[in-house]
Each structure stands twice: as C-alpha cells, then as structure tokens.
C-alpha cells in the first residue's frame, strides 16, 4: 500500500495516532500541540485533528511538515518503508504480499574488489560526465580491471555487474534479480525514478534526482524478474517515474513494469535524447530534466481520452457534407438529484429523446466544473461530442472559433470512453474505476445498456452488469447514469411506466432512480392539426413536448413529472415554453469578435446568434 494511502487511513484515527506518537502533547482548539517530533511538551509542532486537513502537521520552529506517515517517520526516526510497516500494524492491516521465488540465490564475493581505479573514475567523469559525488553515492569500485557496479540492499551486496572499457560486459551468475542504487535513495523519499541502465540512474543523480536501474535492460518476461523480489520495497512509493529508453524494448519494459507495479502511480518520462546519460553528455540542463519529470505522462487506458483530444474531429463533424448532480433546470433542483453512490436508469421508447436529454445534462454539468465520463456506444465520440457542443453553444450554427473554444473548455471536465459499437462490460468497469481514482469523475454515463456486449435477450447478463455498476457507484462514491430502452408498447401516446424498461425486472429494482423520457406525440399531432385546420389543443394533452417522469427515487420517494420544451435547432431542453436557448459556455471563455475574424463569414455575428 502506498504511503499516501496509509496516511489517509491513519487520518481517520488521528486522535489515537497523535496520542501514541506524541503522548506529552495536548489538544489546543482543533490541533494537537507539542514541542517537536521528539515529543517534549510545547507549542511549536501542531497536528490538525479535524476536517479535510486531519493528520497534516507542521513544525513551525524547523519548517518540517507532512502527513501522518511523515510524522511517524519523524517521531520514531524510521525510514519510509519501516514507518509504513509499523503504521499498517497499528491499523491492523495485513497486506497481500507477492511471494518471491523460492529458488536459492548466490551472493557475490568481495574478493578482489578495490577502490575505483583512476582510469575508471576518469572515464565516468570525463566521458560520461557523472559527478564524483554520484560515483561515491552509488559505491562504484574496480575488480580485476573491470569497472564494478555493486547492487546493494540494506548494505548487503546482492548482485554485481561489470564493464571493461570500452564496451565489454559481464555479471555474477545466479544472483538475486534486484534494482541498482538503493543506497542512493533517501529513507524519506515518496517517489522514485527507475531507469534502464546503471549510468542512466547515476546521470539522474548527477542532475539531483536519485534513481534506480533495472538489472537486465529493456524487454519483458524474465528480464523484469526483479519485480517479484522488489515488489514490497516499491509498494510504499506514491509515484514511480519510468525513464527507460525510447526504443522497442524500452517501451515493452514500460508496459510490463507499469501493469505490475500499478499504472495509476507510474509515470512515463520522455527525454529529449535516448536516455538520461545521453542527456547529460549532450548538455541538457537540470531545469530541463526537472521539467521532464513534471510533464511525465500517465498511463491512461487507451479507451479513456480527454474530450479536448477530439477538437479537430468535432469541427470535422460540423463541416461534414453528409453529417447526418443538480439537473440543468432550476425547477428540478428540489425535485431530483443525481447522488454520489447511486445509479439511475434513463429509459424511453426509441425516438423519444433520452440520449439528447442525458447529453444536455452532461453538457450542463461539464460546463459547471463537474467531471463527467461518457461511454456512448450509440455514436462515434466526435459525433456525440458534436451534438453536445451544439447544446452548449445554444445556437444551431456555432462558428469554428466558438466550437473550438467550447471543446477546449471541456479539458479537465469531460472524458470519453472511446469505443465504437458494443463494448464488453468488464472493460467498461475497469476503465471507469481507473477514471474515478485518477480523475475524480463525479458522473459516469452509459448510452446504452444493450450496447455493452450483451445479446438482446441476455437479461441475466444485463442484470449482473447493472448490479456491478451499482456496486461501483456505491464503493467509489460516484454516480452512474444508464440509458436503457423500453419494450415495444401498443401506443406511444402514453408513458410506458417502470415495468416497461427493457430487460430483467431486477434492473430497475437495483438502481436508485428511474426516469422515463416521454415525448408528447399527441401534442405534436394536435399542433399539426391546429396549423392545418385551427383545431384547438385539448387541455388534457399538456403543453410540453417532453416529460421526465420520475418513476422511482429511492432517497426521497418523490416521483415528479417534469415538463420540458425541446428546441429542435439547438437540441436543448428548456424549462418553460417562453424560454429561448442560451449558451452554457461562460462569457469569459467565449472567443471575442477580434479573435474570430477570418475564421468564417458568420464569426462577427456570434453575439447575435447566442444572445450575448
């Protein structure tokens, strides 16, 4: 378990932790006060006991601060790994461990090992530009004319590799596979860099960032056998930077290491040259290398993409010749909520607008700083984004500049599960779980249930998937909205009701909210008759062309019928008949007339189009 996760667990028991670590302290307001991490009475060190900052501490005399794992290290004078072990014992958590191989390994002898020869030292400092302090930190030596790279763990020589200049290599046989450089990593480090070679690890250290190296270079399989023996030691680090070569074997090693150590905490470092030592020899600065760490990319699943990645594709959809957890409406705010930890069904007969309604809901939330992820198997990602962008724009023909501004504004707010056609339910859950933990997604949408890899009559499979989605929403504290079809009914002139949701009846039993989207077909026919012959519209039909009929709301029991007016030109749903479509994009993000000049003939008319 990572150190930060352990600290979060400890913060839930912060009162007990501070009394254990700092028994001579006392409570002052919302803090535990003590003289220092050594435990004497005083006021200099304070630990927050309540709120979001519970467990955060600062020593105002020394300037030290951190979380409860850091406090445990400071008070007990322990390394990060030992502090985490003690903290887990305190919490009563026994982690599942990856058992190392049962085979017996050899230990290298120290016979013939001497101080680093001057020839080797000169080559390292002059040809490879490694700092003398780095050479000392990694304990390089010489042996029988070979440059020796000792693999040390807790001061013990576990393995060794050798290089005879200019380029001959060997290593001791039958040694335990392990990482090079542990002796250079600070005991309190919360992140670590892993490289493909010893010289690359030392180059990073020369830049000021201690690093480890894999023992067998790039590639997969047996070459990464060190993971089994180093898994527990690496488990405490919050972030692992993978700085491997940019060639094929390096990329293969990145994939295997990330999958086994946890892609959610691994970051891929991209360098201006092949490896860190090349960067050092080419004169890349320490500031530039720090930037490479800062910009290291995450290993998002290939299906999870920021909506902003589709900016050009969305514009292409607009220009195609053949282009085929309050809700947005204020009057609904006290009637219907999409609560974290709950699941909702949005059902309707084909053509009644359920996908358009849920799109409007997502558009409104994404433009109000609510993070959403949509798995739309009904349309390709650029197509459903195009439809949503039109709703956000509040105009049927937004300019290119306005479209691009909208898509850019969705960065950090909207993600797409980018799969065309049917997607397997298991993969959807895997990606959703990653997206929730990595990006804090608050609303997940699946449009629709029948496109998740199930046969039309596989009701048992659909039910099991909805149950898994409900478990996911509850455990992760997020909301999942599922679009579903209704069974064919004799007439669309009346709402079909909860029992008509297609699939097993258990689907609606498991979710927290059920909403039927009903299109007022009788009103449409009456309006047509009024236009043709002046026939009056019967009052019993109602005057809204769309209704959201809440058929179930477990939290409150409220089951309102919410009238909406659909605007065909923007596909927005309006709260009242007299309302007109309005742009959802804040004025501060909309492009100015000057910025739009030259983009299209319609650019200068943007303010008129959007009513701004």
Per-residue pLDDT tens digits for 240-295: 999 999 888 988 999 899 989 988 899 999 999 999 999 999 999 999 999 999 99
d(CA 198, CA 134): 11
**Helix H or strand E segment including 517:** strand 513-519
d(Cα 63, Cα 612) in Å, to the nearest integer? 51
Average pLDDT for 387-407:
93
| Secondary structure element (H or E) that encloses residue 510, with its range | helix 506-510
Q: Rounded mean pLDDT of 491-517?
A: 88
Distance CA(508)–CA(512), nearest Å, equals: 8
Q: Can you read off the two tokens belonging to residue 537?
A: 């519209």
Which three-class secondary structure state does DSSP give residue 536?
Answer: coil
CA distance 109 to 160: 10
Among the listed residues 150, 170, 181, 172, the one whose alpha carbon sits nearest the alpha carbon of residue 105: 172
Confidence of residue 536 (pLDDT cuts 50, 70, 90): low
- CB of 289 closer than 8 Å to CB of 270: no
Q: Are strands 113-114 and 141-143 parallel, antiparallel or unpaired?
A: antiparallel
**On the CB side of 543, how many CA atoms lie within 13 Å of its CA?**
7
Question: Cα(401)–Cα(412) distance, rounded to whole angstroms?
Answer: 20
Calculate the alpha carbon distances from 473 to 219, 441, 459, 465, 532 in Å: 38, 11, 21, 12, 50
**pLDDT-based confidence at residue 608 (cuts at 50, 70, 90):** very low
Residues 376, 549: contact at Cβ < 8 Å?
A: no
The helix (run of H) or strand (run of E) holding residue 232 is helix 226-234
Q: What secondary structure letter does DSSP report for 82? A: H
Mean pLDDT score of the chain: 88
Q: Name residue, tokens 């990330």.
A: 258
C-alpha separations of 308 from 312, 385, 389, 416, 567 in Å: 9, 10, 12, 10, 26
Report which of 543, 469, 483, 553 is spatially closest to residue 517, judged by C-alpha positions: 483
Other C-beta atoms lying within 10 Å of the C-beta of residue 92: 6
Closest CA to 582 of 595, 594, 572, 593: 572
Token pair listed for 123: 């080559």
Residue 413 has pLDDT above 90, yes or no: yes
Per-residue pLDDT tens over the stretch 458-467: 888 889 999 9
Q: Above 80 in pLDDT, residue 492?
A: yes
pLDDT at 587: 47
Residue 107 CA to residue 111 CA, distance in Å, equals 12
Report the relative pairing of strands 443-447 and 479-485 from DSSP bridges. parallel
Give the separation between CA 204 and CA 279, rounded to whole angstroms.
10
pLDDT at 599 over 80: no
| Per-residue pLDDT at 87 | 93
Query: What is the model's pLDDT at position 433?
Result: 94
Residue 361 to residue 364: CA distance in whole angstroms: 5
Separation of alpha carbons 34 and 64, rounded Å: 14
> Looking at the predicted structure, is the pLDDT value of residue 534 above 80?
no
Task: Report the C-alpha gap between 374 and 386 in whole angstroms.
Answer: 14
The pair of structure tokens assigned to 598 is 């030259």
User: Do 452 and 444 form a contact (C-beta atoms < 8 A)?
Assistant: no
Q: Is the pLDDT of residue 191 over 90?
A: yes
10 Å Cβ neighbour count for 393?
27
Question: How far apart are the C-alpha atoms of 120 and 145, rounded to whole Å?
Answer: 9
Chain-centre distance of CA 354, in angstroms?
28
Look up tokens 């339910």; give the residue: 425
Give 589 or 425, the one with higher predicted confidence: 425
How would you classify the pairing of strands 513-519 and 343-348?
A: parallel
- pLDDT band at residue 180 under the 50/70/90 scheme: very high
157 pLDDT higher than 70: yes
Q: What is the largest CA-CA distance in the chain?
A: 108
Check the CA dihedral 119-124-128-130 and report its sign.
Answer: negative
Q: Which residues pair with 166 in a beta bridge?
A: none
Residues 6+ apart with CB under 8 A from 5: none
pTM of the model: 0.54
Torsion angle of C-alpha atoms 530, 531, 534, 536, degrees rounded to 10: 20
Residue with tokens 């990329």: 251
Of all residues in the chain, the percent with pLDDT exceeding 90 is: 66
In this structure, the chain runs to a length of: 612
Q: Which long-range contacts (CB under 8 A, 24 or more apart) does 73-79 make?
A: 73/187, 73/188, 74/37, 75/21, 75/22, 75/37, 75/38, 75/39, 76/21, 78/187, 79/187, 79/188
CA atoms within 13 A on the CB side of 210: 20
Distance CA 335, CA 550 (A): 9
DSSP code, position 397: S
CA pair distance 46, 108, nearest whole angstrom: 48
């Amino acid at each position: 378990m990572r150190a930060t996760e352990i600290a979060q667990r400890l913060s839930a028991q912060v009162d007990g932790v501070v009394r254990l670590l700092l028994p001579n302290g006392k409570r002052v307001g919302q803090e535990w006060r003590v003289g220092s991490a050594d435990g004497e009475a005083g006021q200099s060190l304070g630990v927050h006991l309540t709120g979001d900052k519970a467990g955060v501490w600062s020593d105002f005399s020394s300037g030290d601060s951190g979380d409860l794992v850091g406090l445990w290290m400071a008070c007990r004078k322990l390394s990060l790994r030992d502090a985490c072990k003690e903290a887990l014992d305190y919490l009563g958590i026994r982690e599942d461990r990856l058992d190392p191989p049962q085979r017996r390994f050899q230990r290298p002898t120290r016979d013939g090992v001497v101080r680093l020869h001057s020839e080797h030292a000169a080559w390292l400092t002059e040809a490879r530009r490694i700092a003398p302090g780095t050479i000392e930190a990694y304990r390089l030596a010489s042996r029988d004319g070979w440059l020796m790279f000792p693999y040390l763990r807790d001061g013990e020589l576990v393995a060794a590799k050798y290089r005879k200049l200019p380029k001959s290599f060997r290593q001791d046989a039958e040694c335990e596979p392990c990482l090079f450089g542990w002796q250079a990593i600070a005991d309190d480090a919360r992140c670590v860099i892993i490289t493909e070679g010893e010289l690359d690890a030392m180059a990073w250290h020369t830049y000021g960032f201690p690093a480890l190296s894999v023992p067998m270079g790039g590639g997969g399989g047996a070459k990464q056998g060190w993971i089994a023996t180093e898994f527990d030691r690496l488990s405490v680090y919050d972030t692992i930077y993978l700085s491997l070569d940019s060639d094929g074997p390096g990329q293969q090693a990145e994939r295997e290491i990330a999958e086994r150590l946890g892609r959610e905490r691994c970051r891929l470092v991209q360098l201006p040259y092949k490896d860190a030592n090349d960067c050092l020899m080419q004169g890349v600065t320490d500031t530039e290398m720090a930037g490479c760490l800062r910009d290291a990319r995450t290993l998002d699943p290939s299906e999870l993409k920021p909506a902003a990645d589709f900016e050009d594709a969305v514009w292409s959809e607009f220009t195609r010749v053949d282009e085929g957890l309050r809700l947005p409406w204020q009057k609904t705010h006290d009637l219907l909520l999409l609560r974290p930890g709950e699941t909702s069904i949005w059902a309707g007969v084909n053509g009644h607008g359920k996908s358009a309604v849920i799109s409007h809901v997502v558009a409104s939330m994404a433009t109000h700083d609510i993070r959403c992820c949509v798995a739309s198997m009904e349309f390709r990602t650029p197509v459903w984004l195009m439809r949503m962008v039109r709703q956000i724009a509040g105009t049927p023909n937004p300019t290119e500049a306005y479209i691009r501004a909208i898509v850019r504004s969705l960065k950090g707010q909207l993600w797409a599960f980018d799969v065309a056609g049917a997607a397997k339910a298991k993969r959807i859950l895997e990606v959703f779980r990653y997206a929730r933990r990595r990006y804090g997604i608050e609303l997940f949408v699946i449009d629709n249930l029948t496109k998740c890899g199930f046969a039309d009559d596989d009701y048992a499979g659909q039910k099991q998937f909805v149950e898994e989605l409900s478990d996911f929403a509850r455990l992760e504290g997020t909301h999942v909205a599922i679009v579903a079809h209704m069974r064919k009914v004799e007439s669309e002139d009346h709402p079909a009701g909860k029992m008509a949701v297609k699939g097993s009846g258990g689907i609606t039993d498991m979710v927290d909210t059920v909403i039927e989207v009903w299109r007022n077909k009788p009103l449409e026919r009456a309006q047509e008759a009024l236009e043709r012959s002046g026939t009056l519209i019967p009052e019993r039909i109602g005057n809204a062309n769309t209704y959201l009929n809440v058929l179930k709301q477990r939290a409150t029991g409220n089951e309102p019928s919410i009238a909406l007016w659909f605007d065909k030109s923007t596909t927005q749903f309006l709260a009242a008949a007299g309302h007109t479509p309005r742009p959802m994009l804040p004025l501060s993000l909309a492009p100015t007339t000057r910025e739009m000049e030259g983009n299209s003939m319609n650019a200068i008319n943007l303010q008129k189009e959007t009513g701004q």
